[in-house]
Chains A and B, each alone.
Chain A
Amino acid sequence: MTEDAVVAELRSGMTIGIGGWGSRRKPMSLVRALLRSDLRDLTVVSYGGPDVGLLCAAGKVRKLVYGFVSLDSIPLEPHFQAARQAGAVEVCEYDEGILYWGLYAASIRLPFLPTRAGLGSDVMRFNPQLRTVTSPYADAEELLAVPALHLDAALVHLNRADTAGNAQLLGPDLYFDDLFCGAAERAYVSCERIVPTDELAATGGARSLRISRLAVHGVVEAPRGAHFTSCDPDYGRDEAFQREYVDAAKDPTSWSAFVQRYLRGSEADYQRAVAARTATAEATK
């Protein structure tokens, strides 16, 4: 599939889970396709990074479900901050582990999973929909019952995949990508390279095949599709570009110039603009 073909299967108002973590291995080419679309009123579920920032800046988001939004090497995400400080998005701010449990519950068809995380904190106060459950055993502990977090669609980016949707992780951490896929009605995997199935296990062994076609509805070949987030070992985070992104977000004029330069055209246009930028930076070193 292409990124635009994936987005054509999505609808306004859907709940969309986005894999990766902070500014690491985000399905950015799919996010960029969302930016180009006329979709709106999305509920976005994410261990947030620039995916959340860009979607907020483009006015695509009605509600955010997250534990944090950060660019890792730059702690605060400027567009997320702006959206929150303008009161522009509804939020459901969870502990990171609560988010994990919500996705896991949805993926194994349980209504909830119990945890201590959240008790005593303002996560309970600002999420009045959360309920507790009392252990039926002798301890009788009262635990938070994390509700299953069902997604209409999940978008994740891995290193390799075959056309059937068997996806391979070559980097150090799957994060919660498999649970995003499991919690979703439809899951879409973008990858650096689509390869024949026999090549997958030959390069990393069966243990590197972390997402099965059982959970996947569509595969997109997206070389450098996670840019500017990291996609180890294929490439690291483009720190210079990330700084440019953050600097551009500081005022509307520089942000519209950034959008004009990088986000107006297709994914191929984006990758060309980034390559040209990198070439200029190298030449002026």
Chain B
Amino acid sequence: MSTVSRAEHCVVACADVWRGDGEIVASPTGTIPTIGARLARATFEPDLLLTDGEAAFVAGTWAAGAPAPGPVEGAFPFRTVFEVLWSGKRHVMMVPSQLDRFGNANISAIGDFARPTRQLLGVRGAPGNTVNHPTSYWVPRHLPRAFVPQVDMISGVGYDSAARAGVTASRFHQLRRVVTDLAVLDFATPDHRMRLVSVHPGVTVAQVQAQTGFELAVDGDVPATRTPTPEELQLIREVIDPRGLRDREVPA
């Protein structure tokens, strides 16, 4: 196998967020999480459900950027999406424009909400997702402007906000992991502050901290993000992303 690229490390780090989830809907956003979710199902999480991006569950493993060949194994119109997500049987990976140390995420608008400097998508399903089922985040460019002391509009609910809102908001709230082009992070600290889990090969802890607008929790020596297995690399390169779309999201 040739040298493993940064994008390929990101793919397995994304795949690993669904490890142990069993029979739930994996809802990735972005290219590398989509490749990661398909890789997870093709290898260690065979019971995951994946959609065709429209309104159907599709079995099998297929290439990023190509139509799903099927077989279709269920209908998943938006009405059902909300019923499933409120039931908790889903783990979403979203792409925030801003994220803070407790995992509050903004996908709505930058600046003053009354008159934003940059209007984004709107909160979409982020408020409901985060208080109903596990949520992870993908940040394709780990920059201080993405990792901020305070987000401008809390769309996805962080640990501190969930706690303040009370038991109903906290009951099913769970932020699993944040994967970026530099590192893997989580919230496994006593007060749920963001913690550095691993750095991708070639990245230092100091680099990650320098690109983060708040202090990260670091316990001891931070390991390197795991390298894909030969089987995973073959699946990524030949089956799930033969066109190399991953390199457009995270260039080598």
A161 beta carbon closer than 8 Å to chain B: no
Question: Known: A95-B127, A118-B128. Contact between A67 and B82, CB under 8 A?
Answer: no
Does chain A have a CB within 8 A of B1? no
Tell whether, in the assembled complex, residue A93 and residue B162 are in contact, meaning their CB atoms are under 8 Å apart. Answer: no
Min C-beta distance of A250 to chain B, whole Å: 15
**Residues in chain B near residue A126, CB distance under 8 A:** 113, 153
Classify the interface of chain A: helix, strand, loop or mixed: mixed
Contact B165 A84 (CB under 8 A): no
- Within B113-153, which residues are at the interface with A (CB < 8 Å)? 113-128, 130-132, 153
Q: A85-B117, A96-B82 are in contact. Are A173 and B168 (CB under 8 A)?
A: no
Asked if A98 lies at the interface with its beta carbon under 8 angstroms from chain B, I say yes
Task: Choose the segment among A9-17, A69-77, A219-227 that binds chain B (4+ C-beta atoms closer than 8 Å).
Answer: A69-77
Which residues of chain B are within 8 angstroms of A141 by Cβ–Cβ distance?
167-168, 171
Residue A120 contacts which of B77, B117, B122, B164 (CB distance < 8 angstroms)? Answer: B164
CB A76 to nearest CB in B, in angstroms, measures 7
Task: Tell me if A209 counts as interface (CB < 8 A to partner B).
Answer: no
CB distance from B139 to the nearest CB of A (A): 16
Are the C-beta atoms of A100 and B82 separated by less than 8 Å? yes
Q: Are A122 and B155 in contact (CB under 8 A)?
A: yes
By beta carbon, the residue of chain B nearest A94 is B123
List residues 160-202 of chain B with CB under 8 A from any CB of chain A: 161-162, 164-169, 171-173
A142 touches B121 (CB 8 A): no
Total contacting residues, chain A, CB less than 8 A: 42
Known A21-B78, A100-B82, A172-B54; contact A123-B127, beta-carbon cutoff 8 A: yes
Residues of A152-199 at the interface with B, using a CB-CB cut-off of 8 Å, are: 172-176
**Residue from B77, B119, B165 in contact with A119 in the complex, judged by beta carbons closer than 8 Å:** B165
Q: Chain B, interface size: which category?
A: 35 or more
A66 contacts which chain B residues (CB < 8 A)? 122
Q: Within the complex, which residue of A84, A119, A173 is in contact with B78, where a contact is CB–CB below 8 Å?
A: A173
Closest to B163 in A: A120
Q: Is B85 an interface residue (CB 8 A)?
A: yes
Q: A121 vs B160: C-alpha distance in the bound complex, in angstroms? A: 11
A267 to chain B, nearest CB (A): 28
B166: contacting residue among A100, A142, A172, CB under 8 A: A142
Rounded to whole Å, the gap between the CB of B14 and the closest CB of chain A is 20
A68 interface neighbour in B121, B153, B154, B171, Cβ under 8 Å: B121
5 additional contacts (CB under 8 A) given A119-B166, A120-B164, A126-B113? A68-B122, A95-B128, A98-B128, A117-B128, A121-B155
Contacts from B to A (Cβ < 8 Å): 54-56, 75, 77-79, 82, 85-86, 108-109, 113-128, 130-132, 153-157, 161-162, 164-169, 171-173
Instruction: Please list 11 pairs of residues, one from A and one from B, whose beta carbons are closer than 8 Å in the complex, sorted by A's number.
Output: A66-B122, A68-B122, A68-B123, A84-B116, A84-B119, A97-B82, A98-B128, A117-B127, A119-B165, A120-B173, A126-B153
